[in-house]
Amino acid sequence: MKPGIHPDYHPVVFQDANTGKAFLTRSTIASTKTIEWETPEGVREYPLVVVEVSADSHPFWTGSRRIVDSAGQVEKFRRRYGARQSGAS
């Protein structure tokens, strides 16, 4: 690797805004927020990045379905296309 051209790759804690679950991983993202995290070597301070959706709250991984209706988009779709019948005749 060439020196000086790669971003800083360091440990970061990501926290789900919906569930509060956090996990430690490595990333190049920077953050001004920090969090204390328990490690085998003791408590250390890491940058904290709060994310809206993670695997802990994403409907695909949790098995729950959510309809996010931003400005009536779901209702607009239903008015335009109506309720479709599924199944073979």
Is the pLDDT confidence value at 17 over 80? Answer: yes
pLDDT at 55: 77
Question: What mean pLDDT is predicted for residues 58-69?
Answer: 65
Contacts of 53 (CB under 8 A, 6+ apart): 16, 18
Where are the chain's structural domains? 10-81
Burial class of residue 13, CB neighbours in 10 A (0-12, 13-18, 19+): buried
Query: Cα separation of 31 and 25, whole Å?
Result: 14
Whether 60 has a pLDDT exceeding 70, the answer reads no
Q: What is the CA radius of gyration of the chain?
A: 21
Structure tokens at 83: 């309720």
> Looking at residue 2, what is its pLDDT?
84
Average pLDDT, the chain: 83
